[in-house]
Amino acid sequence: MAIPAIPTGAFDLKGIAGKLLNSIDRTDSSSWGRMSSENPSSGGYTNGRAIARACAIVANGGEFNGVRILSPETIALAGAEHAYGPCLYLGPLRLGLGFGLDSKEFPAPSPTSMHWGGFGGSWGLMDPKAGLSFSYTPNNWVVPEVSSGQFAIERRLARFMDALTKLLPTL
């Protein structure tokens, strides 16, 4: 089962999404404009292992390496739907606390997965039911293709998502 693309017309590139996308240099992640921009949702620089370890906290019910970091109640709240509707920047989303939840418009590999990605092509997944965390970070900055008002999922990431979609129902 392939991960569907975000529906065409997810956002208007002439509106707020276009203004945000075009306000910084997206082609050079090391440019002064990019590095100094105030964008809390995309100001982090890390690697796949660190993202997977952070996701493991949620995937393991709030515990990591024998240390309780988040309560089970917080994990349950994170995976519960808190909003479902149009986002002016990203299009239709179903959201828990800080994470995307599985929906037709913003699919996750399983109904119990929580996930989020970064503009440069990174992606993190956590599934408390399966006890699985996963992360993908490309070696180079990936500028997402935008056509007809939608982001295209990077092809290597799409293959990982496809494999996880097949794996998770078996766990």
Position 114 in a domain: yes
Task: Answer yes or no: is 8 within a domain.
Answer: no
> pLDDT for 22-46, tens place per residue?
676 656 666 777 667 666 666 677 8
70 in a structural domain: yes
Domain membership of residue 11 (yes or no) is: no
Examine residue 159 and state whether it is found in any structural domain, yes or no.
yes
Number of domains in the chain: 1
Q: Is residue 134 part of a domain?
A: yes
Residue 4 lies in a domain: no
pTM of the model: 0.74
Residue-wise pLDDT for 81-140, tens only, equals 999 998 877 778 899 998 999 998 888 999 999 999 876 778 999 999 999 999 998 887
Domain extent at residue 164: 16-170
**Residue 118: inside a domain:** yes
The 3-state secondary structure of the chain reads: CCCCCCCCCCCCCCCHHHHHHCCCCCCCCCCHHHHCCCCHHHCCCCCHHHHHHHHHHHHCCCEECCEECCCHHHHHHHHCCCEEEEECCCEEEEECCCCEECCCCCCCCCCCCEEEECCCCCEEEEECCCCEEEEECCCCCCCCCEECCEECCCHHHHHHHHHHHHHHHHC
